[in-house]
Amino acid sequence: MEKPSWTPIVLSGAIPREATDLLAILVMGIVALEASLATIGPAAFNSRIWLSLLVVPPTCALASVSTTTRRTREELALFAYGGSSWQILLRYFFRGAIIALVAFSPIILQVFLATTSLFELIVPVIVLFLAGGLFYSLPSLRRLQSSSFVENYKS
């Protein structure tokens, strides 16, 4: 038996490429830019970052939900091609994580230039990565677990 490859399913869908993905980057980018340009002192700076992070879950979920019809078709196709739920979720997790990281890159860059502590840089990056990925993939998880999902294969 040939060993099935799992990487194509993840790599072919991990790069954000749809209009709603770009919108999410834009929304978060504006917030991030505002935070990075604000003339606030170092003490308040970190709290500003955490406040900005709040925008990640709803924006990522919105980006994912707004294309439900198209995404359902993708999921049905990937299942038909032999993909698993986990591969499909991972595909969207990475896409969500990339969206959040790209959008928050101005803040990440600023923290990188300003801080002497690696910890202060890594923690928000990890939180961004997880929050973006998780909230982008949650709508897909909900769809895949729905009993009506496979009804879409029938005409």
Partner 1 sequence: MISVIETRSVIVEYPSIRGVLRLYDQGVSLKVDQGDFLAVLGGSGWGKSTLVNVVLGLERPIRGSVSFRDHDVTRESFVKRCGLVKTAAVFQRPTALPQMTVSQNLHLALSLAGVPRKERDERIKEALAFFGLDKIERSYPDGLSAGQRRRIDLARALAVKPELLVIDEPTGDLDGSATNLLIPLLRGLNRNQGTTIFMTTALPRQASQAKHQVHLRPPTYLAPENRMIGD
Chain residues binding partner 1 by CB under 8 A are 1-6, 8-9, 12, 17, 70, 73-74, 76-85, 150, 152-155
Q: Minimum CB separation from partner 1 for residue 13, in Å?
A: 9
Q: Contact at 8 Å (CB) between 89 and 138?
A: no
Q: Contact at 8 Å (CB) between 55 and 127?
A: no
With respect to partner 1, which residue has the nearer C-beta, 81 or 119? 81
Q: How many CB atoms lie within 10 A of CB 46?
A: 14
With respect to partner 1, which residue has the nearer C-beta, 45 or 79? 79
Q: Minimum CB separation from partner 1 for residue 44, in Å?
A: 43
With respect to partner 1, which residue has the nearer C-beta, 50 or 86? 86
Q: Minimum CB separation from partner 1 for residue 142, in Å?
A: 17
**Surface-to-core class of residue 57, CB atoms within 10 Å of its CB (0-12 exposed, 13-18 middle, 19+ buried):** middle
Q: How many CB atoms lie within 10 A of CB 111?
A: 21
